[in-house]
């Protein structure tokens, strides 16, 4: 029988603490080039982040060695990753293809993928949101939305 216990190093809190320490150390490098008075507050904060994350890391590892199990960040990782990917994809699509085409696709796509499957409801919601954005922001407030780098 194999032991399926996950590594102590992949506990969410441990990974987060390690990530903070790594990033804070990376930001400390440019801090050395600043004037002492300009570097005072950021250096103090970065040092604080490193110290506090180290404490967090040690505490979490102590809990791990005591046999404490940690809850996963999410019960539905595929849905969360999917949601983040769709949101990021929507932002990139807005940048590349323009706000209106990206929005007209994103609203029904996100809602459909996450369980709302009524074609009439999707069409109505998309029309209302895209139409309202155009009427309020474009027409009423002269707000320019991204036209899409691909078409420029």
Of the two residues 1 and 50, which places its CB atom closer to other proteins in the complex?
50
Region from 1-9, 31-39, 61-69 binding other proteins, contact rule CB under 8 A: 31-39
The reply on whether position 93 binds other proteins by CB under 8 A is no
Q: What is the smallest separation between the CB atom of 128 and other proteins, expressed in angstroms?
A: 9
Q: What is the smallest separation between the CB atom of 32 and other proteins, expressed in angstroms?
A: 12
Among 56, 61, 63, 97, binds other proteins (CB under 8 A): 56
Burial of 16 (0-12, 13-18, 19+ CB in 10 A): middle
Close Cβ partners of 32 (under 8 Å, ≥ 6 residues apart): 39
The reply on whether position 22 binds other proteins by CB under 8 A is no
How far apart, in Å, are the Cα atoms of 118 and each of 61, 104, 108, 146? 48, 16, 10, 29
Question: Binding residues for other proteins, how many (CB under 8 A)?
Answer: 61
Place of tokens 């008075």: 37
Nearest to 63 by CA among 140, 8, 123, 23: 8
Among 9, 25, 45, 123, binds other proteins (CB under 8 A): 45
Give DSSP secondary structure letters for 40-90. Answer: HHHHHHHHHHHHHHHHHHHHHHHHHHTT-----S-S-HHHHHHHHHHHHHH
**Do residues 107 and 123 lie in contact, with contact meaning Cβ atoms separated by under 8 Å?**
no
The reply on whether position 55 binds other proteins by CB under 8 A is yes
Binding site for other proteins (CB under 8 A): 12-13, 16, 20, 27, 30, 34-35, 37-38, 41-42, 45-46, 48-49, 52-53, 55-56, 59, 73-76, 79-80, 82-84, 87-88, 90-91, 94-95, 99, 103, 106-116, 118, 121-122, 125, 129, 133, 137, 141, 143-146
């Amino acid at each position: 029988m194999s032991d399926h216990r996950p590594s102590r190093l992949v506990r969410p809190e441990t990974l987060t603490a390690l990530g903070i320490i790594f990033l804070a150390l990376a930001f400390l490098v440019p801090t050395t080039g600043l004037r002492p008075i300009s570097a005072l507050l950021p250096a103090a904060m970065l040092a604080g982040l490193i110290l506090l994350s180290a404490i967090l890391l040690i505490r979490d590892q102590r809990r791990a060695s005591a046999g404490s199990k940690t809850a996963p960040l999410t019960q539905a990782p595929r849905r969360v990753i999917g949601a983040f990917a769709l949101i990021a994809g929507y932002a990139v699509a807005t940048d590349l293809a323009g706000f209106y085409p990206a929005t007209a696709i994103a609203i029904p796509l996100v809602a459909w993928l996450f369980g709302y499957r009524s074609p009439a409801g999707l069409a109505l919601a998309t029309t209302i949101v895209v139409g309202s954005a155009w009427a309020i922001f474009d027409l009423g407030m002269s707000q320019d939305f991204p036209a899409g780098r691909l078409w420029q």
